[in-house]
Amino acid sequence: MASMLNLKEATGNQSSWDTLLPDFPKGPLCKYRQKASFNWKEMAVLLDGEDIIQLKNRIFSALESDPLFAHHPGEDLCREKYQELTFLRCKRLFEYDFLTQQEIMENPLRIFNMVICIGMYDWSLCLQYFLHCGVFAGPILSASKRFADFVKQIYSMEIFGCFALTELSHGTNTKGIRTTATFDRSTQEFIINTPDFEAAKFWVGNMGKHATHAVVYAQLYTPDGQCQGLHSFIVQIRDTKTLLPVPGVMVGDIGKKLGLNGLDNGFAMFHNVRIPKENILNITGDVTAEGKYSSSIKDVKERFSATLGSLSTGRILITALSTTNLKLAISIAIRFSAARRQFGPTDEEEIPVLEYQTQQWRLLPYLAAAYALDYFSKSLFENFVEFYAGLLTKQRSQRQADLGREIHALSAASKPLSSWTAQQAAQECREACGGHGYLAMNRLGEIRNDNDPNCTYEGDNNILLQQTSNYLMSWMNCIRDKAPFESPFGTINFLQDYHHILGWKFTSISVEDSMDSSVPLAAYKWLVCYLLRESDLKLSKEKQSGRSDFEAKNNCQVYYCRSLAIAFIEQTVLQRFHDYTHDPSLPPTLQPVLKNLSALYGLWSLSKHLAVLYQGGYASGEQAGRFIQNAILDLCNRLKDDAVALVDVFAPPDFILNSPIGKASGELYKNIWAEILQGSKALNRPSWWAEFCINKPVAGRLRSRL
C-alpha cells in the first residue's frame, strides 16, 4: 500500500521537511503545538510522501495566486453567477494541467490527491471537473479504441460531458431505467427515446447548463424487438458552437439544491434522437450491422454489473471526498476549541474549551476516524487501481471477477460509512463551535450541505449496504461446509475461523488492557460472525414461513443485514489501520500517537454496538462496558495535547480552508472581525430604511371589523 511505501521517506531530515512544509504563524495555538508528542511535519511526510506534498503545494499555490479563485468576503453570489464562476474556474484547471498522463500512470494516487485538493477549495468545482474528466470519460476510455477522437476532445474541452443514468422516477433501482435505444438496421443508427416525462434523465451533473455530450444509459432493443438490457451510448445534447439543444433533445436545469449550487444538475428528454451505430460503448456488448446482439459476457446478471462497473469508481471517490469533508470540519473545530477560552477553575482564569472532557469526547473520536478513514480510502483506491488495470487489459480471469466482487462490496459499504461519519461530524463540529460555527463565513454549514448528497448519489446508503450484506451472505455455504475460501484482498478471510470466533469472549481485565486496537478488532470479528449467523437464520426462518425471496430479504434488513454490513466495513477499516499503526517499521517517534488514534477509532466505533455484544453473549457484567467507555475517555485525554498537531498534518492552507475560526494562527476574534469588516455592505444602512423612518404602520388598520 502507498502509505507503507512512504515509511522510508519518513526517515528524511528536518531541513527537507521545513522546505516542504513551512512553519505556522505564531499565535494562540503555539501552546498546543509545543505540547505535541510528535513532529507534525514528519507525520505529514509519512502519510503522504514528498511527491504528493509537492503536488498539493503546487495546486494550492496556483489557486491562491490566481485572481479568478479569489474569495470575496460578505458577497452572496446568485446561483447563475456561481455556476458561471465555477465553469470559468473549471476551464482554468484545464489550462493549469496539473498532471500529465505520464505522471498519473507513474503514481495513480496523484490524480486521487489532485481531485481532493480541488474539492477542499470548492466541491462544486471539483465535481464539475471530475464528472467531465472522470465519470464521463471513464466509460469511454474503457470501451474500444474507436473512441480515441472522443477522448482527445474530452481533454481539450472541445466537448463537455455528463453521465446520464438516473431518471425522474428511477434512481438507485437502475434496472428500472426506461430510456430506450432501438437499433435501426436500415440506417445503421440507434434511436434514443424517452417514453414519458417520468423517464426523463434527471439529477445529471453538468447537464443543466454546460454539457454538450452525455453518456446515456438506455435499454437496448434489437430489430427483433428483444430488450438486451441496460447499455451506454454517447449522445450529443447541445451544439458545441452555440450551447443550444440539438434537434430532438429537451434539456434544462433542475433548480436550486441544498448545496453544491455551483454545479448545474439537469434533466433531458429524447425524441427520436439518432446516433451512429459506433456510439454504443461496447464494454459489455455490441450489435452487428445485421442487428444481431453479441456479448463476451453470457451471464445477464454479470453483464448488468459490468455495465455499471464505473459506479464503483464513483463510490470509491465519494469515500475519499467524504473523508476530506471530515478532515476539513474537524480541522476547524479542533483549532477553534484550542483557541476559544470559556470558564475555568477560578473567575480570573479561563481555559481552552478543548480542556473540557465533553469537548474532547465530542471531537477527538472524529479526529481518529479521519485518520483511519483516510488510510482506508487510499488503500481502497490502490485496490481499485489493480482491478482497473485488469479491465484495461481485458482480463477475464477468475481473480479479476473476484477482485470486482470484493471492491464492489467494499465500496458499497465504505461510501455509507464515510459519508455518514462526515455528516455527523460536520454537525457535531458546528455545534462544538457554538454561535461562531453557525456563521456561514466559518464554512461548517457549507461543508455539511455539500457533504449531504454523498449519502445519496451513486446509490442510496441504506440500499448500498444490502449489496455488501449479500456479498457476505454468499459465503455461508462455504462456511457451513467448512470449505476453504479467500478473497483477493483478504477482507473476508477471517470468516474461515467463523465457528471458532463465535466462541470468543471479551477478555480485557482493565481499562489499560483495553486501550489497544487489538481489543475492538477481536470484538468486531466476533460481531461480524454473530450478525452473519443471525442474518442467515433470520432469512431461513422468513423463507420457511412461506415468504417470497423478496419479502424475506426485505424483512431481514433492520438489526440484521444492515447491521452486518456496517460492522463488516468498520471492522475492515479498523483492521487495515491497526495493521498499519502496529507495523514495526513505523518511526518510533510517530507510532505511539498513531496507535492511540487506532485504539480510539476502534473503541468509539465499537461502543455503538455494545447492546449487540451483550445480547449475543460476547460481553457480560458491568466491567466490559465500563472498560470500553473509560478507555475512550482516557484516550481522548491522551490525544488532547496532540490534537492541534494532528489536524496540522492534513489541514490545507488558510486560503483553501477558508474559515476565519479555522485559520492556522488561532487568532479567532481578529480573524472573524476582519472578515466581517471586509464585507462590502456590513456597515450600510438597509435599502428599505424609509419603511422604518418614514412609513410608520397604523396599528390595527387591517384588523377585521366584522
| Residue 690 backbone zone (phi > 0: left; psi -120 to 50: alpha; other: beta) | alpha
Inform me whether the pLDDT recorded for 451 exceeds 50.
yes
Give the amino acid at 231: H
Give the amino acid at 535: S
Distances (CA, A) of 516 to 519, 596, 624, 634: 6, 7, 14, 12
**458 catalytically annotated:** yes
Between strands 213-221 and 161-164, the pairing is parallel
Candidates 595, 605, 531; CA nearest to 573 is 605
Rounded to whole angstroms, the Cα distance separating 570 from 588 reads: 27
Predicted TM-score (pTM) of the model is 0.94
* DSSP H or E stretch at residue 267: strand 265-270
For the stretch 541-560, pLDDT in tens is 999 999 999 999 999 999 99
Rounded to whole angstroms, the Cα distance separating 696 from 698 reads: 7
Give the amino acid at 66: D
Candidates 50, 73, 59; CA nearest to 118 is 59
Q: What is the pLDDT of residue 4?
A: 42
Q: How confident is the model at residue 309 (pLDDT cuts 50, 70, 90)?
A: low
Residue 579: other Cβ atoms inside 10 A: 16
CB 41 within 8 A of CB 15: no
DSSP designation for 507? -
Q: What is the pLDDT of residue 182?
A: 97
Q: What is the pLDDT of residue 143?
A: 77
Q: Considering the chain, what percentage of its residues have pLDDT values greater than 70?
A: 96
Candidates 320, 322, 312, 325; CA nearest to 419 is 322
> What spatial distance separates the first Cα and last Cα of the chain, rounded to whole Å?
80
Inform me whether the pLDDT recorded for 6 exceeds 60.
no
Rounded to whole angstroms, the Cα distance separating 649 from 52 reads: 13
CB 516 within 8 A of CB 607: no
Q: Considering the chain, what percentage of its residues have pLDDT values greater than 90?
A: 83
Secondary structure of residue 601 in the 3-state scheme = helix
Secondary structure of residue 350 in the 3-state scheme = strand
For residue 252, list its beta bridge partners.
267
Q: Give mean pLDDT, residues 178-195.
A: 97
Phi and psi at residue 341, to the nearest 5°: -115, 130
Candidates 470, 487, 492, 468; CA nearest to 412 is 468
* DSSP H or E stretch at residue 252: strand 249-253
Inform me whether the pLDDT recorded for 141 exceeds 90.
no
> What's the CA dihedral at 605, 610, 612, 614 to 10 degrees?
150
Residues near 222 by beta carbon (within 8 Å), at least 6 away in sequence: 183, 228, 287, 291, 292, 293
Rounded to whole angstroms, the Cα distance separating 52 from 49 reads: 6
Rounded to whole angstroms, the Cα distance separating 646 from 642 reads: 6
For the stretch 358-412, pLDDT in tens is 999 999 999 999 999 999 999 999 999 998 888 777 777 889 889 989 999 999 9
For the stretch 78-108, pLDDT in tens is 999 999 999 999 999 999 999 988 998 899 9
Least confident of 260-264, 389-393, 406-410, 672-676: 389-393
Inform me whether the pLDDT recorded for 506 exceeds 80.
yes
From the candidates 428, 446, 458, 570, which is the catalytic residue? 458
Give the amino acid at 645: A
Candidates 611, 615, 618, 628; CA nearest to 523 is 618
Rounded to whole angstroms, the Cα distance separating 576 from 491 reads: 9
Candidates 313, 281, 312; CA nearest to 216 is 281
Residues near 580 by beta carbon (within 8 Å), at least 6 away in sequence: 1, 3, 4, 375, 586, 594
Rounded to whole angstroms, the Cα distance separating 67 from 57 reads: 17
Rounded to whole angstroms, the Cα distance separating 397 from 318 reads: 28
* DSSP H or E stretch at residue 114: helix 109-121
368 burial type by CB count under 10 A (0-12 exposed, 13-18 middle, 19+ buried) = buried
For the stretch 458-481, pLDDT in tens is 889 999 999 999 999 999 999 999
Candidates 132, 40, 82; CA nearest to 450 is 82
Looking up cell 434512481 gives: 171
Q: Describe the crossing of helices 50-65 and 109-121 by its angle, rounded to 10 degrees.
A: 30
State how far Cα 594 lies from the chain centre. 23
Q: How confident is the model at residue 705 (pLDDT cuts 50, 70, 90)?
A: confident
DSSP designation for 136? I
Rounded to whole angstroms, the Cα distance separating 45 from 5 reads: 11
DSSP designation for 167? B
Rounded to whole angstroms, the Cα distance separating 202 from 269 reads: 9
Rounded to whole angstroms, the Cα distance separating 426 from 428 reads: 6
Inform me whether the pLDDT recorded for 634 exceeds 50.
yes
Work out the mean pLDDT of the chain and round it to a whole number.
93
